[in-house]
């Protein structure tokens, strides 16, 4: 039993070592199946080309002399079949060597090509010996029995074979290397796409987590001020707040929501603020029948409405009007939040909410949406101009997972 386990462990280590060696090979970008398919198809093309070339040249020369100049077609086919394992091994070794550093890799690559081309003529001799052609059998037997007895003509034939196979080897190596680099480039592009999408997902999740505490803090601050003079009203507001937070948390888990739902969140928030500032705050919202059936980034309007209330009411005791509108035109959706401001009162820099809106639009629409915020007379206007999303977008998590599976 122990011996059996030892043999199994030995085989397992051998397989792991073999897989490690092969993984170094196909780090060039090609899988095992792709490599053998490309090399096989290329060598089939070379075989057919050489056979047809020899047949054409032999037919023309036969008109001038009866002496056979080119080997028969079956001997050439067998020659190429015998050379195929050497070609595979040479290309495999070429991938292992790679091309860096060039001063060391280039001579090794040249030696591989020269070694492969050098065995082309001996492969032809072996092929003729195996097939036993009458006109070549004696010559092949002479080479087999006395390999060192090679005359001047044999050296000429060997050199001609060497020179003819060098370009074929170089072209094949360039083809396989080019396809490997292209495959590696495609894989890298897919990995970059997956990483970018995962980064976008993580960034959006972080932005949503940033938004929820910001909203909760403002609403709790509102209720705290209400408790001091109307405890029953504060209790009712807590119930409204619980319902609003439940909806906000549900929406915060999605990338997009219906515009009607988004405006409902806005309505609930503004109703809470109106209960505290009933004598100062006036709210104008679009009617349900005027709301376009489109999708918008979840909670994209919430920070704008919060800023409209907080900054509109700050610094004075006068009335404030907060107006929300949503209009469709030319395949684009324009969302606008207006609030009255005190004349001559400058507004500070961008807060968390405004930065949140700007970053989310940049991530989710990749430059296809615009956001502007600034004063216009006695009003502060925050406006989002974005493409109209008519269908619920596919969740980015599933698209990222599909890409990762493709890699």
Rg (CA), the chain: 39
The more confidently predicted of residues 6 and 31 is 31
Q: State the number of CA atoms in the 13 A half-sphere of 136 facing the CB.
A: 19
Interior CA angle at 114 toward 108 and 118, to 5°?
145
**Among the listed ranges 72-81, 126-135, 287-296, which one has the minimum average pLDDT value?**
126-135
- From residue 288, give the alpha-carbon distance in Å to each of 143, 259, 297, 369: 96, 10, 19, 25
Give the global pTM: 0.50
Q: Which two tokens stand for residue 330?
A: 């030319």
CA 359 – CA 349 distance, rounded (Å): 16
Could you tell me the pLDDT band of residue 125, with boundaries at 50, 70 and 90? confident
Per-residue pLDDT at 2: 41
Specify the residue for token string 């009335």. Answer: 319
How far the first Cα of the chain sits from its last, in Å, is 42
Which bin fits 38, alpha (ψ -120 to 50), beta or left (φ > 0)? alpha
Which CATH number, 3.30.200.190, 3.90.1150.10, 3.30.565.10, 3.30.450.40, labels domain 206-391?
3.30.565.10
239, pLDDT greater than 90: no
CA 105 – CA 238 distance, rounded (Å): 74
**Among the listed ranges 90-99, 171-180, 206-215, 335-344, which one has the minimum average pLDDT value?**
206-215
pLDDT in tens, 12-42: 554 454 444 444 444 456 788 888 999 999 9
CA 195 – CA 214 distance, rounded (Å): 29
199, pLDDT greater than 70: no
- Averaged pLDDT score across all residues of the chain: 76
CB atoms within 10 A of CB 197: 17
Q: What share of the chain is helix, strand, coil (3-state, %, to 5)?
A: 70, 10, 20
Q: Which two tokens stand for residue 319?
A: 């009335």
CA 386 – CA 404 distance, rounded (Å): 29
Burial class from Cβ neighbours inside 10 Å (0-12, 13-18, 19+) for residue 103 reads exposed
CATH 3.30.565.10 domain residues, the chain: 206-391
The more confidently predicted of residues 393 and 130 is 130
Q: Are 36 and 84 a contacting pair, CB within 8 Å?
A: no
């Amino acid at each position: 039993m122990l011996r059996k386990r030892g043999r199994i462990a030995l085989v397992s280590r051998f397989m792991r070592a073999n897989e490690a060696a092969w993984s170094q090979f196909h780090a060039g970008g090609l899988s095992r199946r792709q490599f053998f398919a490309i090399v096989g198809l290329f060598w089939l093309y070379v075989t057919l080309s050489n056979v047809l070339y020899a047949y054409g040249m032999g037919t023309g020369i036969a008109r001038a002399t009866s002496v056979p100049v080119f080997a028969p077609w079956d001997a050439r086919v067998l020659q190429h079949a015998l050379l195929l394992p050497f070609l595979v091994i040479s290309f495999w070794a070429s991938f292992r060597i790679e091309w860096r550093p060039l001063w060391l890799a280039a001579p090794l690559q040249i030696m591989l090509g020269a070694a492969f081309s050098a065995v082309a003529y001996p492969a032809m001799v072996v092929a003729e010996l195996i097939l036993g052609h009458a006109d070549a059998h004696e010559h092949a037997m002479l080479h087999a029995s006395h390999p060192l007895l090679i005359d001047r003509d044999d050296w000429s034939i060997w050199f001609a074979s060497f020179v003819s196979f060098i370009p074929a080897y170089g072209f094949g190596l360039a083809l396989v290397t080019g396809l490997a680099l292209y495959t590696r480039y495609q894989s890298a592009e897919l990995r970059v796409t997956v990483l970018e999408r995962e980064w976008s997902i993580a960034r959006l999740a972080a932005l949503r987590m940033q938004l929820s505490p910001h909203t909760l803090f403002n609403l709790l601050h509102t209720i705290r001020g209400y408790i001091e003079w109307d405890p029953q009203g504060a209790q009712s507001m807590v119930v409204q707040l619980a319902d609003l937070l439940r909806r906000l948390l549900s929406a915060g888990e999605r990338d997009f929501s219906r515009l009607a739902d988004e405006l409902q969140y806005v309505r609930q928030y503004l109703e809470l603020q109106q209960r505290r500032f009933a004598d100062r705050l006036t709210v104008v919202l679009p009617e349900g029948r005027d709301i376009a059936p489109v999708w918008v980034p979840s909670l994209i309007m919430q920070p704008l409405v919060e800023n409209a209330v907080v900054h509109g009411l700050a610094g004075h005791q006068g009335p404030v009007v907060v107006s929300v509108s949503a209009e469709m035109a030319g395949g684009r959706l324009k969302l606008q939040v207006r609030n009255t401001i005190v004349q001559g009162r400058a507004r500070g820099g961008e807060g968390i909410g405004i930065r949140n809106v700007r970053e989310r639009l940049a991530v989710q629409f990749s430059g296809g949406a615009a956001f502007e915020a600034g004063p216009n007379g006695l009003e502060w206007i925050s406006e989002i101009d974005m493409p109209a999303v008519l269908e619920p977008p596919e969740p980015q998590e599933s698209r990222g997972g599909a890409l990762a599976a493709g890699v």
